[in-house]
Amino acid sequence: MTDSPGPAPRSRTLRAIGAVLGSAVGDALGAPFEFGPEGVFSARFPAPGDGAGMCGGGGWEPGEATDDTQMAVLVGESLLEHGGLELPDVFARFRRWAAAGPKDIGLATEAVLTGGDPWDLAAALHFQTNGRAAGNGALMRASTSAVYFAPHGREATMDAARRIAALTHGDRAAWEGTAIFHELIREALTGGDPLEAVATTLGAVHPGHRARYAQVLAPDWHPDLATEFNGAVWPCLGSAVWALRTTTSYEDAVRAAVDLGGDTDTVAAVTGGLAGAVHGPDAIPDRWTQPLHVPLPGFGDRVLNGPELMRLARRLASPGGEAD
Ligand SMILES: [Mg+2]
What is the SS3 string spanning the chain?
Answer: CCCCCCCCCCCHHHHHHHHHHHHHHHHHHHHHHCCECCCHHHHHCCCCCCCCCCCCECCECCCECCHHHHHHHHHHHHHHHHCCCCHHHHHHHHHHHHHCCCCCCCHHHHHHHHCCCCCCCHHHHHHHHHCCCCECCCHHHCHHHHHHHHHHCHHHHHHHHHHHHCCCCCCHHHHHHHHHHHHHHHHHHCCCCCCCCHHHHHHCCCHHHHHHHHHHCCCCCCHHHCCCCCCEHHHHHHHHHHHHHCCCCHHHHHHHHHHCCECHHHHHHHHHHHHHHHHCHHHCCHHHHCCCEEECCCCCCCEEEHHHHHHHHHHHHCCCCCCC
Distance 230 CA to ligand 1 centre (A): 13
68 pLDDT band (50/70/90 cuts)?
very high
Distance 151 CA to ligand 1 centre (A): 28
Distance 106 CA to ligand 1 centre (A): 8
pLDDT greater than 50 at residue 251: yes
Give pLDDT tens digits for 101-122.
Answer: 999 999 899 999 999 999 999 9
5 pLDDT band (50/70/90 cuts)?
low
Distance 8 CA to ligand 1 centre (A): 29
Q: Name the pairing type of β-strands 293-295 and 303-305.
A: antiparallel
Q: Taking phi first (over 0 means left), then psi (-120 to 50 degrees means alpha), and beta for anything else, what does residue 38 get?
A: beta
Between 154 and 40, the more confident residue is 154
List, in sequence order, every beta strand (DSSP E) within the chain: 293-295, 303-305
Distance 71 CA to ligand 1 centre (A): 10
Distance 20 CA to ligand 1 centre (A): 15
Distance 160 CA to ligand 1 centre (A): 22
Distance 141 CA to ligand 1 centre (A): 9
Distance 204 CA to ligand 1 centre (A): 28
Give pLDDT tens digits for 74-85.
Answer: 999 999 999 999
Distance 3 CA to ligand 1 centre (A): 29
Give pLDDT tens digits for 11-26.
Answer: 999 999 999 999 999 9
Average pLDDT over residues 236-261: 97
The pTM is what? 0.95
Average pLDDT over residues 167-185: 98
Q: CA triplet 12, 214, 153: central angle to 5 degrees?
A: 30
Range scoring the smallest mean pLDDT among 30-34, 155-159, 163-167, 254-258: 30-34
Distance 10 CA to ligand 1 centre (A): 31
Range scoring the smallest mean pLDDT among 126-130, 182-186, 307-311: 126-130
Distance 111 CA to ligand 1 centre (A): 16
pLDDT greater than 70 at residue 1: no
Decide: helix, strand or coil at residue 201. helix
Rounded Cα distance between 19 and 147, Å, is: 8
Distance 172 CA to ligand 1 centre (A): 21
Distance 265 CA to ligand 1 centre (A): 5
Distance 53 CA to ligand 1 centre (A): 18
